[in-house]
């Protein structure tokens, strides 16, 4: 089983589409999703075996656009919003 990992970044909103295009153009490397649109926080989900390649790509992108790694936003786990606790019927 492949281990799945996540990294969270804050970017300039103007760079969201560019960042998504570049990251996802490397087939199978990673997938980008927006976690907090207002603050332009994104989640990058990737297989653990791609960590070095993803880090290299993010370093190269940081020379072009502003990227800031941030902790996982409160209320999110595995890239999905925490669901309210409800009784299961």
Residue pLDDT, tens place only, 10-29: 999 999 999 999 999 999 99
Is 11 among the domain residues?
yes
Is 64 among the domain residues?
yes
Residue 55 maps to which CATH number?
3.30.70
3-state secondary structure of 9: strand
Is 49 among the domain residues?
yes
Structure confidence at residue 6 as a pLDDT band (50, 70, 90): very high
Please state the domain count of the chain. 1
Domain extent for 41: 4-73
Residue pLDDT, tens place only, 31-67: 999 998 888 999 999 999 999 999 999 999 999 999 9
Is 28 among the domain residues?
yes
Is 79 among the domain residues?
no
Q: Please give the model's pTM, rounded to 2 decimal places.
A: 0.82
């Amino acid at each position: 089983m492949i281990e799945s990992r996540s990294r969270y970044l804050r970017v300039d909103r103007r760079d969201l589409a560019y960042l998504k295009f570049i990251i996802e153009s490397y087939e199978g490397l990673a997938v980008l999703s927006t976690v907090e649109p207002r603050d332009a926080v994104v989640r990058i989900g990737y297989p653990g075996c791609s960590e070095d390649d993803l880090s290299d790509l993010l370093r190269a992108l940081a020379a072009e656009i502003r990227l800031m790694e941030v902790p996982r936003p409160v209320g999110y786990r595995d890239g999905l919003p925490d669901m309210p606790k409800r009784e299961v019927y």
